[in-house]
Structure 1
């Protein structure tokens, strides 16, 4: 998929906040309130229905964000949105800083060791708290490689479509 067609999952609706139609949101942006800058959103409800949504306002409140959706003004309507995912086109996000990456941009890249041994392709990444982990899969196995630069991830070359790692292929 091209960058213009890629979507980035930025957050989701956790449920109602109060009785006036406000919602608790989980955001994976940094800072988390930045999610409100990337509108319009493409929202996908738990049944898979999608629509575009603009004009959402919000603020931080403890460990969540509290959001007010246009034309939603009661708790039941917000509860019906529980689990709704919030996406934006990849093109709506600012370019990453040097040596920073959007995980979605790494997905699908080939992974090779510093000695040229292929380890598969990047299927996804996840956070552990200590560091992020890159998951590379080939036909035979899956490898979890700490995304620690330059110790384990020595280079990312988007033009060549390759992530080079200092990793034992047998591990």
Structure 2
């Protein structure tokens, strides 16, 4: 399953509108030439650099920035934007959320979904019992796990063909083979 963002925060992977997806945040300033430390929620983390235009949101302020350069500098993932040439200009962007236009994201492929597409889907058993909605996902290494919140929280392995029987994005629904008592 392609991952735009990881489930590290409650906001990660949220489609903020029909047009943009939250992909990370500006976490710090590096050096004196306008480089910004980026906390990326993509997997692998440097995939965020594949998008040439980032929409930064801080509070009510929203602005598009063109990526001039980026990469690993030691243990930090950094980015530099056209028009940001010094530390003070970069500092003004600290704390901004990094969003990317959905139109810039590649298709997930047949029977593959981005995490943000699954969040908010209603989850029901094959017998039609409503279990709640997907509130997040957890990456475990073996397989991803759906966090489903309804009358209580359930953790359901994201295993297509085993536990997840169908994902119907247009209908806003996922059908699972899961015991509602578990």
Please indicate, yes or no, whether the TM-score normalized by the shorter chain is above 0.5: yes
Looking at structure 2, the residues matched to 100 and 63 of structure 1 have their Cα atoms a distance apart, in angstroms, of: 31
Looking at structure 2, the residues matched to 156 and 117 of structure 1 have their Cα atoms a distance apart, in angstroms, of: 16
Question: Please, what TM-score do these two structures have when normalized by structure 1?
Answer: 0.81
Aligned to 1:68: 80
Looking at structure 2, the residues matched to 3 and 69 of structure 1 have their Cα atoms a distance apart, in angstroms, of: 22
**Pair 1:88-2:93 in alignment:** no
Looking at structure 2, the residues matched to 125 and 117 of structure 1 have their Cα atoms a distance apart, in angstroms, of: 21
Aligned to 1:35: 48
SS at match of 1:91: helix
CA RMSD of aligned residues (A): 2.6
- Which digits, 9 at most, give the CA deviation of each residue in 1:42-63, with x for residues without a partner? 1012x34211112432122344
TM-superposed deviation, 1:3: 10
Matches within 5 A, 1:1-171: 5-45=18-58, 47-138=59-150, 140-171=151-182
Mind listing any 5+ residue stretches in structure 2 that lack a counterpart?
1-14
TM-superposed deviation, 1:8: 0.9
Looking at structure 1, the residues matched to 81 and 39 of structure 2 have their Cα atoms a distance apart, in angstroms, of: 15
Distance 1:87 1:120, change over 3 A: same
Looking at structure 2, the residues matched to 129 and 63 of structure 1 have their Cα atoms a distance apart, in angstroms, of: 22
Distance 1:107 1:114, change over 3 A: same
8 Å Cα contact 2:67/2:79 also seen in 1: no
- Which digits, 9 at most, give the CA deviation of each residue in 1:70-115, with x for residues without a partner? 2222223323322211101222211102332111211232211123
- Which digits, 9 at most, give the CA deviation of each residue in 1:124-164, with x for residues without a partner? 323344432222233x2232222233332222123443212
- Which digits, 9 at most, give the CA deviation of each residue in 1:10-56, with x for residues without a partner? 222121122222111122334433323323221012x3421111243
4+ long deviations beyond 6 Å: none
Mind listing any 5+ residue stretches in structure 1 that lack a counterpart?
none
SS at match of 1:60: strand
Looking at structure 2, the residues matched to 130 and 155 of structure 1 have their Cα atoms a distance apart, in angstroms, of: 20
